[in-house]
Chains A and B, each alone.
Chain A
Amino acid sequence: MTRIDTCFDRLRAEGRKAFVSYIMAGDPDTETSAAILAGLPGAGVDIIELGVPFTDPMADGPTIQLAGQRALEAGQTLQKTLDMVAAFRKTDDATPIVLMGYYNPIYSRGVDRFLADAKAAGVDGLIVVDLPPEEDAELCIPAQAAGLNFIRLATPTTDDARLPKVLQNTSGFVYYVSITGITGAAEAQAADVGPEVSRIKAQTDLPLIVGFGIKTPEAAQAIAGVADGCVVGSAIVSEIAAGKPVDEVLDFVRGLADGAHRA
């Protein structure tokens, strides 16, 4: 049982949907980012996705690209991101943290070393965009062995024939990418997402969280309503990019969380 499994058990018992928020570690700088991170559970966030900055985020739109650039320019490193998680864990031992990013910074550190360090820091799961099931031997299998969840993305192009392969080594939850596209792009429509959720849930007992293209409390409510929860990233990162103070960013997050929890 990871913190993610425990979290979903609790939400299920309470009959609530999960609200998952994404921020980029180190954006706009390590200190501010750590302050926002620490405030997320209080703003109603059930699960935290913490972006690991990468120079070449091929699946991300301009909002997340720029967040990564700001973080890197401010000197963020993988070590600083792990340190942020460790610091967070000193005051919060319940809220799951999922690192989300691309493979090269992990590969560069060395998979075994990274997994040991991530586990020790208090990371619960990984979402690595450029590791499809075909590359499971790289990180997915070792991560599960190290006690971390490996959360896979399912997409509108993942057809029924391929779905079992995508679900096979997934744990924690399944992240359904609601659009074919990059983060922060087109708006997701609950009417389109609903049937897709049913299609995937027919093949797995794992919770299903929907992300990409959710920008408002209303959309969070609508999308969470047809799934087990929803993820908001770019909309929150935009608030940070606009230079809003930490408490205003957290107020914005609270609005989204309340939306998702109304579902």
Chain B
Amino acid sequence: MPEDLINSFMTGPDENGRFGEFGGRFVSETLMPLILALEAEYEKAKTDQSFWDEMNHLWTHYVGRPSPLYFAERLTDHLGGAKIYLKRDELNHTGAHKINNVLGQILLARRMGKQRIIAETGAGQHGVATATVCAKFGLKCVVYMGAHDVERQAPNVFRMKLLGAEVIPVTSGRGTLKDAMNDALRDWVTNVRDTFYCIGTVAGPHPYPAMVRDFQSIIGKEAKEQMMAAEGRLPDTIIAAIGGGSNAMGLFYPFLDDKDVRIIGVEAGGKGVDDRMEHCASLTGGRPGVLHGNRTYLLQDEDGQILEGFSISAGLDYPGIGPEHSWLHDIGRAEYVAITDREALEAFKLCCELEGIIPALEPSHALAHVMKIAPTLPADHIICMNMCGRGDKDIFTVARALGVSMGDSA
């Protein structure tokens, strides 16, 4: 569909949960009635002012929103081109954007009378956010986490346990985010009657991709207002990192109809996007398929078997991507690029040294792309990048990658 024939990019998904050919509801019959009930509940909540009043109150007083929009002056000077702003979602309570969405879903779960919350987590940020909000509301919380991720994200595992959650290491597959999501779905299908599945990204069966996007859109809405206040105009380019793609969708969505704003999603290129497939760049190196309830771009072999992704960042280590990103990619409204582990590590270090901000490895990928393009752009070009998480959880991984010994702490 040519871009100029579309009046708005913000009308999706359709009644079948599709963004173009992507999305849908590819789940077993046992889950279908629940998904329909969730959709009905969300449709009601969406237009219920009391729901949003409660969200806004919690966002302000519990999460600490709005997150600042920060002009990264030394990075800008160092790169010598475009003006770089960081949307500081790493300053949220629990250290990442994940809690924006978790609050919305837990409020829905409460409306639906569900007492038990399950979640999948990769880097542990969504797990921590879910455990946090469950503690606040006195709900039982079970988090599925790949055994490999349990190991490389030890601080977040301990954090979840402190918050009262049960963390279940998943050993099937290679023990990463994809496998955690499989086991969470198996739990859900077994405990359908009392359990709410709090998905952490803009993927899964409809209505999750749209619902999570709507909850995360607070990022882009704030960024837009803050940019108008700071510069009196919209940014020229907005950039965010993508695993499943929730922080990116949250930043992008309110800008989709601002056609002069260039939108760039940054996937995890791992060791490089080539035929060794040691990466997680679903759009750059995958093709459409069906997994975890939706049709989207996936890393898969020629027989339709799903491949394990590879990335230094546990939060990007997922072989799929939210269906709306697949659609934006195919219609050309957003561009998607890949950044390698090595490039992300360089960006991580630079951000620490120049801005006094320890970024998570996930937004370090976005920053690495900013480092590539900013020097090529004029000084009046404004880039807004989502700093979606802080890097405290990653220091052990980074130390290992840099060959620094930190004892037996990780």
Q: Which residues in A have some Cβ–Cβ distance to B below 8 Å?
A: 53-62, 65, 72, 77-79, 102-109, 129-135, 152-159, 162, 166, 177, 180-182, 185
Closest CB-CB distance, A101 to chain B, in whole Å? 10
Let me know if B27 is at the binding interface, CB within 8 A. Answer: yes
Given contacts A58-B186, A61-B186, A78-B303, contact A104 B29 (CB under 8 A): no
Q: CB distance A155 to B186 under 8 Å?
A: no
Q: Which of the residues A62, A132, A180 comes within 8 Å of B189, measured between beta carbons?
A: A180
Q: Which of the residues B25, B27, B304 comes within 8 Å of A106, measured between beta carbons?
A: B304
Given contacts A65-B172, A135-B24, contact A159 B33 (CB under 8 A): yes
Q: CB distance A132 to B190 under 8 Å?
A: no
Which chain B residues lie closer than 8 Å to A72 at the CB level?
A: 305
Let me know if B168 is at the binding interface, CB within 8 A. Answer: no
Let me know if B55 is at the binding interface, CB within 8 A. Answer: no
Which chain A residues lie closer than 8 Å to B190 at the CB level?
A: 180-182, 185
Given contacts A72-B305, A107-B290, A132-B29, contact A157 B185 (CB under 8 A): no
New contact pairs (10) apart from A57-B182, A59-B28, A132-B28, CB-CB < 8 Å = A54-B304, A58-B182, A59-B30, A104-B289, A104-B304, A109-B303, A134-B32, A157-B32, A158-B33, A181-B190
Q: How far is the CA of A104 from the CA of B301 in the complex (A)?
A: 11
Closest CB-CB distance, A187 to chain B, in whole Å? 14
Which chain A residues lie closer than 8 Å to B295 at the CB level?
A: 107
Q: CB distance B304 to A105 under 8 Å?
A: yes
Closest CB-CB distance, B301 to chain A, in whole Å? 9
Q: Write the B1-38 contact mask toward A (1 if CB under 8 angstroms, else 0).
A: 00000000000000010000000111111111110000
Q: Is the interface of A mostly helix, strand, loop or mixed?
A: loop
Closest 5 CB pairs of A and B: A108-B304, A105-B304, A181-B190, A155-B30, A130-B26
Q: How far is the CA of A157 from the CA of B27 in the complex (A)?
A: 13
Q: CB distance A130 to B304 under 8 Å?
A: no
Given contacts A58-B186, A59-B189, contact A107 B304 (CB under 8 A): yes
A-B contact pairs, 29 of them (CB 8 A): A55-B173, A56-B173, A56-B306, A58-B182, A58-B186, A59-B28, A60-B186, A102-B290, A103-B26, A104-B304, A104-B305, A105-B303, A105-B304, A108-B300, A108-B304, A129-B28, A130-B26, A132-B26, A132-B27, A134-B24, A135-B25, A152-B29, A156-B30, A158-B33, A162-B33, A177-B30, A180-B190, A182-B186, A182-B190
Q: How far is the CA of A65 from the CA of B183 in the complex (A)?
A: 11
Q: CB distance A135 to B26 under 8 Å?
A: yes
Which chain B residues lie closer than 8 Å to A61 at the CB level?
A: 186
Nearest to A54 among chain B residues (CB) is B305
Q: How far is the CA of A27 from the CA of B36 in the complex (A)?
A: 36
Let me know if B275 is at the binding interface, CB within 8 A. Answer: no
